[in-house]
Amino acid sequence: MVKAFQAKIRHLGNSKGIIIPKEVINEMDLEVGDTVTFKVPEKDLSSRNETIRSMAGSYKDKMPFEREKEDRY
């Protein structure tokens, strides 16, 4: 199961880290010593968008449809 939540980076001794909310820990039945894998989203979205375009392709200046009313988006 994927559980998403927001957390702030905090000082933890000489390191920095995040605190997982108690509700998430209880819901996912996590215990001290469990290994948790997480992904940090890229701050530079242009890199992510370029990756998506390269995977999905693009129309390169062509719209896949004609607009009936040009004044609407």
- Give yes or no for a contact between 19 and 7, defined as CB atoms under 8 angstroms apart: yes
Q: What is the pLDDT of residues 14-45, one digit of tens each?
A: 999 988 888 888 988 999 999 988 777 767 77
pLDDT of the residue at 31: 93
pTM of the model: 0.47
- Give yes or no for a contact between 8 and 18, defined as CB atoms under 8 angstroms apart: yes
pLDDT of the residue at 63: 56
DSSP string, 16-49: EE----HHHHHHTT--TT------PPPS-HHHHH
